[in-house]
């Protein structure tokens, strides 16, 4: 694999061409590098290209290549290749027909785009966002558990059991019920330490744990028409 690539090379994009008359393939230097070869050090063949396809993608790509060879059909594909160092790369390959002067199929030409970095970044971004959402949801549940422990002198397991029982009774997701309690108490956390405040919290808890009335939506009174 070439580590010191020329500054004017675009290693994440390159071109290819298939010539039907000679049944040969051509790679630009960039496509050779994507596959792990020194530019100009290898002559691509159908067999060589297929050997670099990820095993899970190989059959589908083989059918695509055969269609390109026989008919020169326009195509696009996103699949994985494995370079000579064993690294898996995500690539998008797009090709269009080459037509001879007689109008007959002469081959196919197009380009490769290596999207590995962007693909991995997208996955990481999705995972990070989901983890953040999970953490936020869990935080509300933990806060609600803490309030129950403070109000009723429960241990964490007992407080969690109270929450889950209320959630099932009210037919409300545990997260939603916890968030509702937290929203109601966030401006009155200190009130839980007073008798009056504790009574208010008891009312919140009872209201949160009741099944919704037929004339209510998401636990809130339905709008009057």
| Domain span at 74 | 13-114
Handedness of CA 42, 48, 51, 52 (dihedral sign): positive
Looking at the fold, whether 108 and 34 belong to one and the same domain comes out as: yes
Q: Model confidence over 69-117: pLDDT tens digits?
A: 877 777 888 899 999 999 999 888 888 888 888 878 888 888 898 888 7
One-character DSSP codes across the chain:
--SS--TT--TTEEEEEEETTTTEEEE-HHHHHHTT--TTS----HHHHHHTB-HHHHHHHHHHHHHHHHH---EEEEEEEE-TTS-EEEEEEEEEEEE-TTSSEEEEEEEEEE-HHHHHHHHHHHHHHHHHHHHHHHHHHHHHHHHHHHHH---HHHHHHHHHHHHHHHT--HHHHHHHHHHHHTT-GGGGGSHHHHHHHHHHHHHHTSPPPTTEETTEEPPP-
Q: What percent of the chain has pLDDT over 90?
A: 22
Total domain count, the chain? 2
Residues 63 and 148 reside in one and the same domain: no
**132 assigned to some structural domain:** yes
Q: Which of 114, 135, 169 is the last residue of a domain?
A: 114
Do 67 and 107 lie in one domain? The reply is yes
> Going by DSSP bridges, is the β-strand pair 13-19/88-99 parallel, antiparallel, or unpaired?
unpaired
CATH code for the domain in which residue 86 is found: 3.30.450.20
* 2 within a domain of the structure (yes/no): no
- My answer on whether 86 and 109 are in the same domain is yes
The answer to whether residue 225 sits within a structural domain is: no
**60-79: per-residue pLDDT in tens?**
999 888 888 877 777 888 89
Identify whether 219 is part of a domain.
no
Looking at residue 99, its pLDDT comes to: 82
What confidence tens digit (pLDDT) does each residue in 13-50 have?
889 999 888 889 999 999 999 999 999 999 999 999 99
First to last CA, the chain: 71
Q: Are residues 146 and 69 in the same domain?
A: no
Tell me: do 71 and 99 sit in the same domain. Answer: yes
Lowest-confidence range among 31-35, 106-110, 158-162, 192-196? 192-196
- Do residues 179 and 103 both lie within one domain? no
Given 114, 144, 164, the domain boundary residue is 114
Note whether residue 86 is domain-resident: yes
């Amino acid at each position: 694999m070439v580590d010191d690539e020329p500054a004017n090379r675009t290693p994440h994009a390159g071109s290819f061409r298939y010539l039907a008359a000679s049944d040969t393939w051509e790679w630009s230097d960039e496509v050779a590098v994507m596959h792990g070869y020194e530019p100009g050090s290898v002559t691509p063949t159908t067999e060589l290209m297929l050997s670099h396809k990820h095993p899970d993608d190989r059959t589908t790509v083989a059918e695509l290549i055969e269609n390109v060879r026989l008919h020169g059909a326009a195509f696009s594909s996103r699949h994985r290749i494995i370079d000579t160092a064993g690294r898996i790369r995500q690539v998008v390959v797009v090709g269009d027909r080459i037509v001879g002067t007689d109008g007959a199929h002469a081959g196919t030409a197009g380009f490769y785009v290596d999207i590995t970095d962007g693909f991995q970044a997208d996955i990481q971004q999705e995972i990070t966002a989901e983890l953040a959402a999970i953490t936020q949801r869990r935080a509300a549940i933990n806060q609600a558990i803490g309030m129950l422990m403070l109000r009723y002198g429960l241990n964490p397991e007992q407080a969690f059991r109270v929450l889950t029982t209320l959630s099932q009774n009210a037919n409300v997701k545990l997260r939603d019920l916890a968030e509702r309690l937290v929203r109601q108490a966030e401006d009155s956390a200190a009130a839980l330490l007073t008798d009056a405040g504790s009574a208010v919290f008891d009312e919140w808890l009872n209201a949160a744990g009741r099944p919704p009335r037929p004339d209510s939506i998401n636990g809130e009174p339905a709008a009057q028409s």
